[in-house]
A and B are shown apart, each in its own frame.
Chain A
Amino acid sequence: MLNLFSPTFALLLQEAERGRVAPMAEQMKQAAANPDLSKFLVIAALLFIIGVAGVLTRRNIIVIFMSIELILNAANLNFIAFSRYLQQTGNPNALAGQIFTVFVIVVAAAEAAIGLGIVIALYRNKETIWVDEIDLLKW
């Protein structure tokens, strides 16, 4: 079992011998002190995945809608981060990301209004908000 990992250990030991582990830690510290585009992308990705997990696991339809908002928001964060990145590299189309974000927010608002209207209509007819009890189309 240990053999499986021994190349990694050997590599680590080698690196430590050459005194590279301390510089690596230093590098990580530097990266934490100066978060760049990739850190924004990681946070957006985590938010997105939390949203996906919420949609897949929750039973309450309203919480599922909230998770969808979380997903859209993660996409917005990506747009804004890339817009900023392009702005700094002097790209003339850098504002496209921000413009797109406005439209994402508009669509999210429309989606929430319609979705919650459907939830209310559904609750009147079926008296439930658990998605596993809403199985009209299942046979």
Chain B
Amino acid sequence: MTLSGYEALFFWVFGLAAIFAGLLTVMARNAVHSALFLISSLVSVAALFVLSRAEFIAGVQILVYVGGVMVLFLFVIMLVNVSAEERGKDEIFNNQRQVTASLIFCLLLVGGVLFSVNRGYQGLKANEKARPEALAQEELKADQAHATSATRSSKITSDSQDLGNGLYRYASLPFEIASILLLVAIIGSVMLARTLKQEASADDVDPDVLKEEIARDPELAKLEPQAD
């Protein structure tokens, strides 16, 4: 795969944007700023997906990550972070020694990964049969063959169609398992986020624990379903 022209320009713009936004996510003092930088990093990566002709995944990335997961993150930050933000002057990183050790580890990891990508890619390139120029020509022809959209300003790709076909043909069982995983996650997060009051009113607390808690907070006794 070789990008050229405007695609190359957009590749560098969005690639660098993704990396810088990622860095700022990790370094921002305020968790809300972190979340906003993460959103811009995710959107940049979605743009890279578009450049590698995965339009459907790019859309899913924006809908699910930016529209769903990040909103959830922001809600939790708002619920949890109020008093922590007031403290303000707290250190956001671990202690010096841990940070140094982990940064050294990360630098080693950077070196190793870049080295292996370089070496591995040279091997991959040596194995290529067709010339990249020929591939680009073929690609251009394939792009021209796509149907034009109603506005006649762009082409309609068959990416989502192909992905749907592939998903049901080769991965239908994992697809069903994924839906069950999501169901379990919904139920699990509802269970985890309940307060003691909600648990007591659903009669879902260990009786001994409930007795202790009633001693601390008599209000709870009213919520307990009366056994008769």
Interface residues of A, Cβ cutoff 8 Å to B: 32-43, 45-54, 56-60, 62-63, 65-67, 69-70, 73, 76-77, 80-81, 83-85, 87-89, 95-96, 98-99, 101-103, 105-114, 116-121, 123-124, 127-130, 132
Contacts and interface: CB of A to CB of B under 8 A. Distances in A.
A40 B48 contact: yes
A63 to B, nearest CB: 5
Interface in B1-15: 1-4, 8, 11-12, 15
Contacts of B95: 132
A87 B15 CA distance: 21
15 contacts: A36-B3, A41-B121, A42-B114, A43-B15, A53-B102, A57-B103, A60-B92, A62-B81, A70-B41, A88-B1, A101-B54, A109-B185, A112-B69, A116-B189, A117-B191
A114 B188 contact: yes
B57 interface: yes
B3 A85 contact: no
B11 A39 contact: yes
Contacts of A57: 26, 93-94, 98-99, 102-103
Given A50-B19, A56-B102, A81-B1, 17 more contacts: A35-B8, A46-B19, A53-B106, A62-B73, A62-B76, A66-B25, A80-B52, A99-B167, A99-B170, A102-B57, A102-B167, A103-B178, A110-B182, A110-B185, A117-B189, A124-B195, A128-B84
A109 B110 contact: no
How many B residues touch the partner, as a band? 35 or more
Per DSSP, chain A at the interface is helix
- Top 10 nearest A-B pairs (CB, nearest first) are A117-B192, A56-B102, A110-B185, A117-B189, A54-B26, A84-B52, A38-B121, A95-B166, A45-B113, A50-B22
Contacts of B186: 113
Contacts of B163: 95, 98-99, 102
A59 B22 contact: no
Nearest to B101: A56
A113 B191 CA distance: 11
A114 to B, nearest CB: 5
Nearest to B61: A105
A107 B132 CA distance: 36
B212 interface: no
A22 B169 CA distance: 52
A87 B53 contact: yes
Contacts of B73: 62, 65-66, 112, 116
Interface stretch (B31-39, B148-156, B203-211, B215-223): B31-39
A54 B25 contact: yes
Contacts of B8: 32-35
A43 B15 CA distance: 6
Contact of B1 (A73, A84, A120): A84
